[in-house]
Chain A
Amino acid sequence: MHTYKCKWFLEELNEYLDDTADAELRQRIEQHIHECPNCWVVFDSTKKTLAVYKGMEAQNVPADVEQRLLKVLQQKLKPNHDEIR
Chain B
Amino acid sequence: MRKAVNDIDICVACGVCANQCPRDAISIFKGCYAVVDAGKCVGCGLCEKACPAGSIKVLEVENGSK
- A and B interact physically: no
